[in-house]
Amino acid sequence: MNKIVVFATYFLVSLSQLNNLGYAQTKPVIDENVLYQQHCQTCHGKNRLGGHGPALLPGNLSRLKPVVAEKVINDGRPATQMPGFSSVLNQQQVTALVKFIYQPPTKAPQWNLTAIKNSHRMLVPTSQLPKKPTYQADIMNLFVVVESGDHHVTILNGDTFTPIHRFKSHYALHGGPKFSPDGRFVYFASRDGWVSKFDLYSLQTTAEVRVGLNTRNLAASADGYYLMAANYLPNTLVLLNSQDLSVKDIIPVSDGHGKPSRVSAVYTAPPRNSFIVALKDVKEVWEIPYNQQGANQLRQLSVLPEQSLLLPASPFTIKRIPVTDYLDDFFFDANYQHLVGTSRETHNGNVIQLDQGKKIASIPLTGLPHLGSGIYWTINKQSVMATPNIKKGIISIIDINNWKVIKEIPTEGPGFFIRSHKNSPYAWADVFFGPNKEKVHIIDKQQLEIIKTLAPMPGKNAAHVEFSKDGRYALLSVWDMDGALIVYDAKTLQEIKRLPMKKPSGKYNVYNKTHYAEGTSH
C-alpha cells in the first residue's frame, strides 16, 4: 500500500510540474486552412470566393450567425448540395472552420473584368426564344415568388393562384428581382454575385454572369437597355447589357480623394432616366443617367458632373451629391424629385432634392426607420409616406409636402415591410422582430388606425405582402421552412387560399413592379 501511495504522489507531482511547463493537457494543433482545403474548397473555391457553393467571406456571411454556421457544417443544408460533416469532423474542428471563414483573407479578393467575362454564360440564344408564352396566363398578373428556404423560385398564376413553374436559383437571392419594361424578363441577383436572366414566356434561364463576390442588389433601366449591380465586394458598380448580360463597364466606387466605398444599393429613377446609388462608406449620393435624355436633363439643370465613367464616348456621367451623413436606405417620392435616406447614426430621415443636388430637410425619426420599405398614398389630396421601424414598434406617417411627422402608429413590435395598393383602403405592416413576429397589422389609410391584426401561423414569422395587379387580393408570406403563401381577399380580409412553401421570403407582381405602382417599394 505504501508503494502505491508513493507512486501516486510521484505521479501527481510530475503531472503538476508538466502543467507548469506547459506540456500537459495540450490540445492538438488545428490548421484551419488545411481543414478548409480538405473539406470545403471543392465547392466553395480555393480562396473562399465561391464555386458551386457560395463565397465564404465575412461580408457574405453577415446574415448567418456563427452558431448557425456550425450547425450547417455539422448537419448540412436541406435541399442543397451541402452535406453534413458531423461524422467526419469533431466539434473542435468545426468551431475552428467557422472561425476561419469569418476572418477576412490576408489579401483582399479581387473580381475584375476578366473574371466577370470568364463567368458569363449564354444559355439560350435570343433567336431561339418563343414569340409568345408557352402557357395560358396573364403575364402581367404573374407573381415571382422567392423561396429562400431551399433557394428556389416559383412562378405563380395571379388569377388562379396555382404554380406554373418552379426552378432552382443561385444561393441567397437578394434585394428582389427586377423586370424588363414589358414584363417578359426577370433579372435576379444573388448575394454571392450571380446575375441571372429568366424568360417568363418559355420559363427558362437564358443567361447568367457573376458580377462580384458580395452583391447587394440590382437595378434595371426604364428604357430596358441596361442593368446595374451594386457590390460590397469588390467596391464597384457593374453595368450590364440587359439583352445578354455582357459587361459594359466596371465603375470603381470611391470619393473624390480615393477613399473606397461599399455600395449599399442601386435604384432606377424612371422619370429621371438615371440610376441612384447609395454608398456605405462615403458621404455622397450618386446619380448616373443611363441615356442621352438623362444626361441632357442634368445639363439643363446646370449641374456639371464631376466624374465621367470609363466609357468616355457614352452619355454616362456621375453626379455626386454631398450629404452630411452615411445614407444607405432610400425612399423616393412618386415623381422621383426627392429621396429620403436613413442616417444610421442620427436615425433621422435626410431629404435630398435631386434636381438641386442638396439636402433640404431633416425628418426627426426615432429608432431605425426602414425607409427602403416605405410607401406613399393620399389623404384628402395630401401626399403622405409611411415607414416601418426596425428597432421600435411604430409606423411613422410623414407629410411629403413639408416633411413633418404627422403621426406614429404604435405596433406590437419592430417591423420590416409595409405594403398597399392604390385600390385598397388598407396598408399591411408586419411585426418582423420580437416575440410577436407571427402578427401582421392592417391599417386604415385614411383614419391611420390599426383595424385588424392577423396571425396566420402562430409562432412563425409572417412578413412581406404583395397585391395582385388589380389590388383585389393580398398575398402574405410565412417565413419558415414549413411556411406558406397565404392569399387574402384584400377587401374582406378573409383567407382565400394557402400554398405550402419553403420560406417564401418575397413575392413580386409583374404589373406592380413594372409600373412602379403606388403601395409597393421601388
Kindly report which listed range (70-79, 196-205, 446-455) carries the lowest average pLDDT score.
70-79
| CB burial string 119-149: b at 16+ within 10 A, e below | bbeeeeeeeeeeeebeeebebebbbbbbbbb
pLDDT number for residue 11: 42
Q: What is the pLDDT of residue 263?
A: 93
Q: Is the peptide bond before 234 cis (omega within 30 degrees of 0)?
A: yes
- Give the residue among 375, 367, 376, 322 at the shortest CA–CA distance from 349: 367
pLDDT of residue 8: 43
pLDDT at 140: 98
Q: What's the rounded Cα separation, in Å, for the pair 506 and 390?
A: 18
Decide: 229 and 187 in contact? Cβ < 8 Å: no
Distance CA(390)–CA(374), nearest Å, equals 12
CA dihedral 40, 43, 46, 49 (to 10 degrees): -110
**When comparing pLDDT for 98 and 109, which is higher?**
98
- Please tell me the predicted confidence (pLDDT) of residue 497: 98
Global pTM reads: 0.84
Q: Is the pLDDT of residue 3 over 80?
A: no
pLDDT at 295: 61
pLDDT (tens digit, 9 = 90+) per residue, 388-428?
999 999 999 999 999 999 999 999 999 999 999 999 999 99
Query: What value does the mean pLDDT take over residues 93-98?
Result: 94
- Residue 143's DSSP bridge partners are 156, 509
pLDDT for 309 beyond 50? no
Q: Is the pLDDT of residue 222 over 80?
A: yes
- Phi, psi at residue 414, to the nearest 5°? -60, 150
Does residue 207 or residue 176 have the better pLDDT?
207
CA dist 171 and 478 (Å) reads 20
Please say if the pLDDT value at position 493 is more than 50. yes
Whether the pLDDT of residue 227 is over 90: the answer is yes
Residue 207 grid coordinates: 443567361
pLDDT value for 291: 77
Confidence class for position 47, pLDDT limits 50, 70, 90: confident
pLDDT of residue 156: 98
The pLDDT assigned to 6 comes to: 43
Question: Residue 74 CA to chain centroid, in angstroms?
Answer: 27
Strands (E), 298-353: 307-308, 317-322, 327-332, 338-343, 349-353
- Judged against a pLDDT cut of 50, whether residue 376 lies above it is answered with yes
Give the pLDDT confidence score for residue 79 in this predicted structure: 58
The pLDDT of residue 328 is above 90: no
pLDDT in tens, 334-350: 999 999 998 777 778 99
Residue type, 206: T
Judged on CB neighbours under 10 Å (0-12, 13-18, 19+), 112 is exposed
Q: What is the mean pLDDT of the chain?
A: 89
- Mean pLDDT, residues 369-374 taken together: 93
267 pLDDT tier (thresholds 50, 70, 90): very high
pLDDT of residue 137: 97
- Cell reading at 214: 458580395
Amino acid of residue 292: Q
Confidence of residue 109 (pLDDT cuts 50, 70, 90): confident
